[in-house]
Structure 1
Amino acid sequence: MTSPSRRSFLAIAGAAALARPALAQPGTWPAERSIRYIVPVAPGGSQDIVARLFAKHLTEALGQNVLVENMPGAGSNIGYEFVARQKPDGYTLLAGSDSLSINKTLFPKLGFDVTGFAPVTQGVRVPQILVVRADSPARTLEEFVTLARRSPVAVGTPGNGSLSHLIGEQIQAAAEIRWTHVPYKGGALAVNDLLGGTLQGVLINIGAVADHVRIGRMRGLFVSPGQRTGALPEVPTLAEAGLPGAEAVGWHGIVAPAGTDPAILARVHAAIAQIVKKPEVAERLAALGLEPVEAPPEVLGELIRADAARWAEVVRRARIQPD
């Protein structure tokens, strides 16, 4: 016979179990409802385009609607914080990027761990590139460095604290030069000012300028990953351009709230790995200058942690402040 105290304990435990949010089980997920896919930037940019492309094909692959919601603001932290506070039940996904690692130091007073999300998939690699006008006297990175030593040079980026900005700070430290950094609200105006002669260079994601380079309006001096890119295979890597060790990888992918079941994460990762192989998806990504990545979730997690430590040093050394 169960004692009164034992019955009381069981009643309390049962009530507590009912009070806890029920997490989706891998066997039933995502049958219960639609999946929210939070994009922490405004519509229109490459991160938003990739998220919408993934959402469309994930809807088909998972048999459940994957609905994109843009939550821009505060350097992506509004969307990041929203997702960090959601139940880890698989019904909220986040369009993550390299800013997860950067923001950990750039915004030191965040009320959540920006690198603490559960990694799902890196999705795509986003090469960065340094471009100059076709009539620039600098035909190589070495010549651009020499130019910067002789006279003032202005280099535009998509914004303070962006990956392009941090790569530029790395290059200046390694080459022992200083140029004038000109941050923009996005890359389009920077590209226009380079073409107009206001800037001597622009550091930006490759998709924003690939067509300009192909038709001879601009010249690429390096790409940021450790290997050449399919978008502009003639442009050398940083190591080939003379600065080994300064390589950096931008990415647009997916993370989820910490504690999400690994089986759910693995299912989304496996779906994306197949999605990026579809001809229409591969063609769209290539047009944006993006490269698919099939690394497992743990590799993305290590990249986020390693980059957080790396960029923290750059942010502190250069005393970078968010816009």
Structure 2
Amino acid sequence: MSEALRRRALLGAGAALALAPAARAQIWPDRPVRLIVPVSPGGSIDPLARLIARHLQEALGQPVVVENHPGAGGNIAFEMVARARPDGHTLLVGWDSLAINPALFPKVGYDPLRDFAPVIQTVRTAQLLVVRPGLPAAGLAEFLDLTRRQPITLGSPGNGSIGHLAAELLKAHAGAEWTHVPYKGGGPALADLMAGHIDAVFLTLPAATEHVRAGRIRAIAVSATARAPALPAVPTVAESGLAGFEVTSWQGLLAPAGTEATILRRLNAETARILALPEVVSQLAGQGFEPVSGPPEALATRLAEDVPRWPGIVKLAGARVD
């Protein structure tokens, strides 16, 4: 081969390599997309993931398969996505634990800021303290007093979950006492509460709203600064005597770091469109979710603010997972 032909071949190969990412993005997705959920079915994360998946697969023209991988406060799912190929076919339904766990666990196998490409924040919501119907406590003050007089079991969606941390913060602020019972998601915790196996649970508001309305469990307090429109009769923790107490939760979609920007932008646009659909807005509001949307950078900013924020709160609460 002549020198001129060799140079031309090298230039052609270089151009093909340069176009490869754009070409991949144009044909994406070319197979089913996996939506990794870090908790068991039930609770609030799983139903929202399935709602988005149902609409997203219509837009993408490929199945969007929800896979539940609970355990270790979400770390199993987080590590799975962090190590996945950044081709847009494996996505994470992330929540607060992604930012909390590095402060709570001695070691995690991922970096929440380095190993993920934020797609979109989907919703935010408050935490709700709920108790079994037979527990003799009508409000937060009575509940806290009860914990000082008799053994109480309080569940959470898992070690490292925001429900766990909200409970630890409440314990630290109020001088209360209980035995923490971690579950692999809000669904199993809620089932045991309704069966009377535990006394109380801290859950995201949407996970418990329907059951509170039906009288299967009783709501004691909400963790936001204002009452929740979905359950307006339930007072805030601050109203109940602990001024300044606030814990809010977020959920969002993330991809492995290195995923093509074109893929991220399309996922962002499609999910934002889904969150704006009237039937979705109505469904989310009725459960206690507030749709958020926004560009990928907004979720990146939220993570960048949360990761350094939680170590101080974890230390104040005295929470630790071995």
Following superposition, the deviation at residue 100 of structure 1 comes to 0.9
1-structure distance, mates of 2:14, 2:84: 20
1:110 corresponds to 2:89: no
Following superposition, the deviation at residue 195 of structure 1 comes to 4.7
Deviates more, 1:28-37 or 1:205-214: 28-37
3-state DSSP class of the match of 1:23? Answer: helix
Following superposition, the deviation at residue 283 of structure 1 comes to 4.4
Residue matched to 1:318: 318
1-structure distance, mates of 2:122, 2:264: 13
Alpha-carbon contact 2:96-2:250 (below 8 Å) kept: yes
Following superposition, the deviation at residue 136 of structure 1 comes to 4.1
* Alignment map for 1:1-323 (pairs within 5 Å): 11=10, 22-24=20-22, 29-31=26-28, 33-34=30-31, 36-41=33-38, 44-45=41-42, 46-61=44-59, 63-70=60-67, 72-75=69-72, 76-116=74-114, 117-134=116-133, 136-188=135-187, 190-191=189-190, 193-195=192-194, 199-286=198-285, 288-316=287-315, 318-321=318-321
3-state DSSP class of the match of 2:57? Answer: helix
2-structure distance, mates of 1:185, 1:82: 16
2-structure distance, mates of 1:83, 1:230: 34
Structure-1-length-normalised TM-score? 0.79
Deviates more, 1:43-52 or 1:115-124: 43-52
Deviates more, 1:119-128 or 1:84-93: 84-93
Q: Deviations over 1:142-167 (max 9, x none)?
A: 33223333444332223222221110
2-structure distance, mates of 1:260, 1:186: 28
Q: Deviations over 1:246-289 (max 9, x none)?
A: 32222332112224344543332232222123233334435654
2-structure distance, mates of 1:196, 1:293: 34
Structure-2-length-normalised TM-score? 0.79
Distance 1:195 1:64, change over 3 A: closer
**Number of aligned residues:** 315
Letter paired with 2:180: H
2-structure distance, mates of 1:193, 1:78: 23
Letter paired with 2:267: V
Distance 1:307 1:44, change over 3 A: same
Distance 1:106 1:271, change over 3 A: same
Following superposition, the deviation at residue 123 of structure 1 comes to 1.0
Alpha-carbon contact 1:24-1:89 (below 8 Å) kept: no
Unaligned runs of 5+ in 1: none
2-structure distance, mates of 1:232, 1:289: 8
